[in-house]
Amino acid sequence: MKAEIICVGTELLLGQIVDTNAAYLAQVLAQQGIDLYYKSTVGDNRQRLVALLQQAWKRADLIFVSGGLGPTLDDLTREALALLVHEELEEDPGARRAVEEYFRRRNRTMSQNNLRQATRPKSAICLPNPYGTAPGLWLEKDGRVVVALPGVPLEMKNLVEREVLPRLRRKSGADSSVLCSRVLKVVGMGESAVEEQIMDLMTGQENPTIAPLAKRGEVRLRLTAKARSEKEARELIKPVEEKIRARLKGYVFGADRKLLEEAVGKRLAAGGFTLGVAESCTGGLISHRITGVPGSSTYFQMGIVAYSNRCKQKLLGVDKELLRKYGAVSPQTARAMAEGMREHCGVDVALSTTGIAGPGGGTPKKPVGLVYLALAHAGGTIVRRENFSWDRENNKTAAAQAGLVLLWEFLGGISPGENSENH
Amino acid sequence: MKAEIICVGTELLLGQIVDTNAAYLAQVLAQQGIDLYYKSTVGDNRQRLVALLQQAWKRADLIFVSGGLGPTLDDLTREALALLVHEELEEDPGARRAVEEYFRRRNRTMSQNNLRQATRPKSAICLPNPYGTAPGLWLEKDGRVVVALPGVPLEMKNLVEREVLPRLRRKSGADSSVLCSRVLKVVGMGESAVEEQIMDLMTGQENPTIAPLAKRGEVRLRLTAKARSEKEARELIKPVEEKIRARLKGYVFGADRKLLEEAVGKRLAAGGFTLGVAESCTGGLISHRITGVPGSSTYFQMGIVAYSNRCKQKLLGVDKELLRKYGAVSPQTARAMAEGMREHCGVDVALSTTGIAGPGGGTPKKPVGLVYLALAHAGGTIVRRENFSWDRENNKTAAAQAGLVLLWEFLGGISPGENSENH
């Protein structure tokens, strides 16, 4: 079964709303194992909507239309469907009663145009919509199914779950398949380096497929399997996941919704370590991410956002002379901040950041995006240098991510890596 | 000029990410008065991408393609463009240098497949992308323009603003009408209270329209005007904005992209105040937001994330006895944290938060979502209580927003408000 999604609404083409309905419908199709090849959006224009429906009619068996079922003149989906299948619109008695009842229950006056919502092409059936006045439509003809859904997300989702999915499952019968995905998350290796390690796995098989996606400071590998049941799909994914984990060693920190700060927290808790964070350029973001994890208070003791030099001296005991000699953004200061945090505040592991987030403050020798990170532990201190080249927000984000990566690698016993420096 | 948008990525068809790029590009086109008739999404599939491009080539003059410019084998946009215009891909020397330089600056090894990103169809030019390795492409042929942009939102937006818009403006000349929006941002008043104040303005006119939108702890009013030029549209908006500001007095903190932390920072800088933040339940988020503003180091001195009681005592001088008697989540502790921060760290204004972010730690008397905030200044201390009822993440977000609102109101001389308590 091949599907298409058509979203209708001029507001979507003006960019005034983000189309979350399409993403939801796409997920539903994926879970049912139905291939989706195209998603299209069109405005409230009769001619273009009909043209798009005719095109979809040629290349798909199942067409979802979202939006355009309202009561006003620019709601054209019903009309366009009638034109598509060369039928007249007729009133549905049940739908009419539902619309009238909707207004009666709310003590509101129904206007005549609300009755437009009770019409449907002759061969369509109305799908009752308890949350609004627009029923959905289910139209089967010439081996194709067209499902029209209201654009209001709550109404749309309710109709999909209560009315559309059961019908779809009945139609597709026992031969239907499901699609399952699992996302492996990798830090400490770039996208191309990851790809090189697993190239043969990526090209050598089709079920599951492996698709890489780089997010700043993190590489994600999406494994998608198609099978007759979710269980079977998970079983296809499992051995491939194991191979990938073996190839990428300790660099896979989790899967699906797992966050790096959770993975780090788990290692801290398992080792019985307490943590303190001394942040300059990341301005509190590392503490914020770490404290976003429920239960983080068992290992996270404190954070200091040491923005001023005075604070670096007073709260972290960084030597004034050292700051004068090397500057606040230097490997020496990063080291002193981490070691000061560890000693003064009595934590087992201390992480520090100092850098130039931008847009101001850069020099040729110390450009915007230069960041030093340090991690002080019982066995010594690791110092790492990074060079980012984004705006303030993204430099902070990237530096915070680099701090968590450093913690993750240290706690997992991975060596500091090529761009680390030991001063 | 007629435009189409094509988004490329199997992850979009699986519904795994919501397509915010398409909405952004649609907005940009609307602002330029360029008609957008279709938006389509296709997976990482050569044949279908080329088919979609060919269709768009027939019905539009301007085609935006988002995504598919990465270094891996499933990034097909460059190839598809070459097939569309019947040209070979060739290496662009400038783009090659940029990719090599990107890796050199980061001390990372470039893999061979990164050089794929330096190729383009013969008649295309590369648009330099300072934030990533994939340059954009601008291709003009047979009266049509195709613009290919990377899928990473930051990179895409930067390219649109710096490279694409100036070129488009040069091409399209002066004949079209534009839509302009301005968003006024309000804190310290709920959505219905705001609506009551300006109801007559909302219903009494159509150009500009006024649409309210409530975001957690903030109300936004979108004013949208249509006119022959941006200047004319801005002139329609201006008097209405002035009326709204007059009605809502000091509660409008800014417009458009202005963030509350910027507005607060401006007031701190104007008053010559230094700021310190002592956070417990917000875990560093307030410091993170404040330090997100360029130049914040002139007023932001330091933040302390005092997660443990030991830290509250040691770094903020909170009395052990007080903690035992009233508990960490109490108006007394909030007050002591703010006053301790102000005295021990020598700042003019100190803000503190203490509360129960959840999911654990709640009791009938102190439920999850209970937050105390305090602001200590030369004239005394304000303590405020809030009750949120969300999950950990949203409770943190809401508490941080409440902290900034408290600062904003204090610095603007607005009285602390009804839910404040003076202990």
Closest CA to B301 of A287, A306, A332, A231: A306
Residues of chain B numbered 361-400 and touching chain A (CB < 8 Å): 392-393, 396
Average pLDDT rounded to a whole number, residues B155-166: 92
B212 and B334 share one domain: no
Amino acid at B212: P
Residues of chain A numbered 21-50 and touching chain B (CB < 8 Å): 22-30, 36-43, 45, 48
A353 and A325 share one domain: yes
Asked if residue B186 lies in contact with residue B253, where contact means CB atoms within 8 angstroms, the answer is: yes
Q: How many CA atoms lie within 13 A of A12 on its CB side?
A: 26
The residue of chain A with its CA nearest to that of B22 is A15
pLDDT of amino acid A419: 41
Domain C-terminal end among B154, B172, B190: B172
- Cα–Cα distance, A329 to B360 (Å, whole number): 39
Domain C-terminal end among B232, B255, B278: B255
CB atoms A345 and B314 under 8 Å: yes
A15 → closest Cβ in B18, B26, B359: B26
Identify the CATH number of the domain in which residue B402 sits.
3.90.950.20
Site from A277, A302, A316 to mutate, B interface, most B CB atoms within 10 angstroms? A302
Cα torsion A8, A9, A10, A12 to 10°: value is -90
Asked if residue B286 lies in contact with residue A284, where contact means CB atoms within 8 angstroms, the answer is: yes
- A356 chain-B contacts, CB cut-off 8 A: none
Terminal C-alpha separation, chain B: 64
Average pLDDT rounded to a whole number, residues B74-81: 95
| CB proximity list for A374: less than 8 A, separation 6 or greater | A331, A334, A335, A337, A338, A339, A351, A352, A381, A382, A383, A384
Domain C-terminal end among B172, B206, B227: B172
CB atoms A224 and B14 under 8 Å: yes
Residues of chain B numbered 45-84 and touching chain A (CB < 8 Å): 45, 48, 52, 70-74
- Portion of chain B with pLDDT greater than 70, in percent: 96
- Cα–Cα distance, B228 to B224 (Å, whole number): 13
CB atoms A22 and B43 under 8 Å: no
Q: Quick check: B422 pLDDT over 50?
A: no
A221 and A306 share one domain: no
B144 and B233 share one domain: no
Alpha helices in A207-298 (DSSP H): 230-247, 260-271, 285-291
- B13 chain-A contacts, CB cut-off 8 A: 26, 30, 36-37, 39
Give whole-number Cα distances, A305 to A32, A48, A283, A290, B193, in Å: 49, 56, 6, 14, 37
Total Cβ atoms within 10 A of residue B276 = 29
Number of domains observed in the structure of chain B = 3
- Cα–Cα distance, B209 to A322 (Å, whole number): 59
B30 and B127 share one domain: yes
Determine the distance in angstroms separating the CA of A95 from the nearest CA of chain B, rounded to an integer.
Answer: 31
A190 and A153 share one domain: no
CB atoms B14 and A181 under 8 Å: yes
A17 in contact with B, Cβ within 8 Å: yes
- Cα–Cα distance, A304 to A282 (Å, whole number): 11
Per-residue pLDDT of chain A (423 residues; tens, 9 = 90+): 899 999 998 888 888 778 889 999 998 898 888 899 999 999 989 999 999 999 999 999 999 999 999 887 788 999 999 999 999 999 999 999 998 988 888 777 887 888 889 999 999 999 999 888 889 999 999 999 999 999 988 889 999 999 999 898 888 764 567 778 899 999 988 888 899 999 999 888 789 989 888 877 899 998 989 888 889 999 999 999 999 999 998 899 999 889 999 999 999 999 999 999 999 999 999 999 999 999 999 999 999 999 889 899 999 999 999 999 999 999 999 999 999 999 988 999 999 999 999 999 999 999 999 999 999 999 999 999 999 988 899 999 999 999 999 999 999 976 454 344 433
Identify the CATH number of the domain in which residue B229 sits.
3.30.70.2860
User: What's the residue count for chain A?
Assistant: 423
Residues of chain A numbered 271-330 and touching chain B (CB < 8 Å): 277, 279, 282-288, 290-292, 294-297, 300-308, 310-311, 314-315
Query: Can you read off the two tokens belonging to residue A16?
Result: 């005034």
Site from B10, B37, B394 to mutate, A interface, most A CB atoms within 10 angstroms? B37
- Cα–Cα distance, A243 to A232 (Å, whole number): 18
CB atoms A48 and B38 under 8 Å: yes
Residues of chain B numbered 230-269 and touching chain A (CB < 8 Å): none
- pLDDT interval class at B423 (50, 70, 90): very low
- Cα–Cα distance, B380 to B138 (Å, whole number): 60
Strand (E) or helix (H) holding B399:
helix B392-411
Peptide bond preceding B359: is omega within 30 degrees of 0, i.e. cis?
Answer: yes
- Cα–Cα distance, A210 to A205 (Å, whole number): 9
Domain holding B264, by residue range, is 260-421
Total Cβ atoms within 10 A of residue A206 = 9
A370 and A236 share one domain: no
A183 and A273 share one domain: no
- A286 chain-B contacts, CB cut-off 8 A: 284
DSSP state of B249: G
A359 → closest Cβ in B12, B23, B294: B294
B366-415 confidence digits (pLDDT tens)? 999 999 999 999 999 999 999 987 789 989 999 999 999 999 999 987 64
CB atoms B302 and A292 under 8 Å: no
A342 and A291 share one domain: yes
- Cα–Cα distance, B276 to B263 (Å, whole number): 17
DSSP state of A419: T
Amino acid at B380: G
Determine the distance in angstroms separating the CA of B36 from the nearest CA of chain A, rounded to an integer.
Answer: 6
- pLDDT interval class at B421 (50, 70, 90): very low
The angle, 0 to 180 degrees and rounded to 10, between the axes of the packed helices A331-345 and A309-316 is: 40
Identify the CATH number of the domain in which residue B167 sits.
3.40.980.10
B225 and B136 share one domain: no
The residue of chain A with its CA nearest to that of B26 is A15
A147 and A20 share one domain: yes
Q: How wide is the angle at C-alpha A389 spanned by C-alphas A385 and A395, nearest 5°?
A: 75
| CB proximity list for A355: less than 8 A, separation 6 or greater | A280, A281, A329, A369, A370, A371, A372, A386, A395, A399
Average pLDDT rounded to a whole number, residues B338-350: 95
B369 and B310 share one domain: yes
- pLDDT interval class at B420 (50, 70, 90): very low
Tokens 């590392």 map to which residue?
A: A286
Spell out a b/e string for B343-377, using b for 16 or more CB atoms within 10 Å of the CB, else e.
ebbebbbbbbbbbbbbeebeeeeeebbbbbbbbbb
Asked if residue B15 lies in contact with residue B84, where contact means CB atoms within 8 angstroms, the answer is: no
Asked if residue A420 lies in contact with residue A280, where contact means CB atoms within 8 angstroms, the answer is: no
- A391 chain-B contacts, CB cut-off 8 A: 154
Determine the distance in angstroms separating the CA of A218 from the nearest CA of chain B, rounded to an integer.
Answer: 13
